[in-house]
């Protein structure tokens, strides 16, 4: 009788350990989930979106693992280069405990300049097409009406951006940045909410991002809530945005 109880106990322990190993393999090599806490990528992602991020898209560095803080290794294996227009999740160099989400605008070797909010990439202004007004809510500003544009990158990728000041003058803090050349293995990131994003335009706080810091590519929104509460539990039970669930990120 004792042996049967012991066998059952050890069988449960083995099943538990096996489950932990499967989870670790999954979050290390395939996907991790992220929750959007800010409005920096509105309208592509909203506060309260839950995302799946594919780690295999760009290869693996220590930041692909849950043990990044203790691993001494550098570089990537099975490396693939992000492309302009990709929406990526990366660890902030100044604080490796934080994951940020931004869009790749410049790749190694590009020159980037920002003049009155307009992006000059390799000497050419990125084309913008006005779409209309866009009403959005952010934690720090509340509900605001933005100007909604489509921006086209040199590789043909068209994506949404929003702007408070409609490019009239340059009152916003990151509307101007001197020309820089992106060094090898680095990427220039911007938020789609141009007046509500701290990104590579802020050369002191972030600047360009090294490829090793990139965790993966944001792929799909698997859940979305209006996220009015900071509590994780309250986020799950608050009103759902069903139209956003299982939509791909572009």
Digit-coded pLDDT (tens) for 54-81: 888 898 776 666 555 545 567 677 788 9
Mean pLDDT, residues 104-110 taken together: 98
Distance CA 128, CA 158 (A): 9
pLDDT in tens, 2-37: 466 555 656 556 655 555 554 455 555 556 777 888
Position 241 scores a pLDDT of 79
Whether 14 is a known active-site residue: answer no
CATH number at residue 23: 2.10.109.10
Q: Looking at the 3D structure of the chain, how many domains does it have?
A: 1
**Residue 43 preceded by cis peptide, ω within 30:** yes
List 40, 197, 200, 224, catalytic entry: 40
Query: What's the CA angle centered on 34, arms 94 and 188, to 5 degrees?
Result: 45
Residue for token pair 């509307």:
175
Task: Report the percentage of the chain scoring pLDDT > 70.
Answer: 70
List 55, 62, 76, 102, catalytic entry: 102
Q: How far apart are the first and last CA of the chain?
A: 60
Residue 171 structural domain: 2-248
Position 1 scores a pLDDT of 47
In this structure, how many other beta carbons lie within 10 angstroms of the beta carbon of residue 25?
A: 10
Confirm whether pTM is higher than 0.95.
no
Position 190 scores a pLDDT of 97
Kindly tell me if the per-residue pLDDT of 171 is higher than 80: no
Whether 80 is a known active-site residue: answer no
Mean pLDDT, residues 41-66 taken together: 83
What is the chain's mean pLDDT, rounded? Answer: 81
184, 179, 181, 188: which is closest to 207 by C-alpha? 188
Residue for token pair 């803080």:
69
Of 26 and 159, the structure prediction assigns the larger pLDDT to 159
């Amino acid at each position: 009788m004792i042996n049967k109880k012991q066998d059952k106990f050890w069988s449960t322990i083995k099943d538990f350990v096996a489950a932990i190993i499967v989870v670790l393999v999954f979050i290390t090599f395939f996907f991790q989930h992220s929750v959007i806490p800010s409005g920096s990528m509105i309208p592509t992602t909203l506060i309260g979106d839950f995302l799946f991020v594919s780690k295999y898209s760009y290869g693996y560095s220590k930041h692909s693992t849950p043990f990044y803080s203790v691993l001494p290794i550098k570089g990537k294996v099975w490396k693939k280069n992000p492309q302009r227009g990709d929406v990526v999740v990366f660890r902030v160099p100044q604080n490796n405990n934080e994951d940020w989400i931004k869009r790749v605008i410049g790749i190694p070797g590009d020159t980037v300049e920002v003049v009155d909010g307009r992006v000059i990439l390799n000497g050419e202004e990125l084309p913008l097409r006005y779409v209309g007004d866009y009403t959005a809510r952010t934690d720090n500003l509340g509900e605001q009406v933005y100007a909604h544009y489509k921006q086209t990158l040199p590789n043909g990728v068209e994506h949404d951006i929003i702007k408070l000041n409609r490019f009239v003058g340059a009152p916003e803090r990151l509307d101007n940045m001197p020309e820089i050349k992106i060094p090898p293995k680095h990427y220039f990131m911007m938020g789609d909410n141009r007046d509500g994003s701290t990104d590579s335009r802020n050369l002191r706080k972030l600047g360009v991002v090294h490829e090793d810091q990139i965790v993966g590519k944001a792929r799909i929104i698997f859940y979305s809530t209006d996220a009015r509460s900071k509590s994780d539990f309250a986020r799950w039970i608050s009103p759902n945005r069903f139209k956003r669930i299982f939509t791909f990120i572009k």
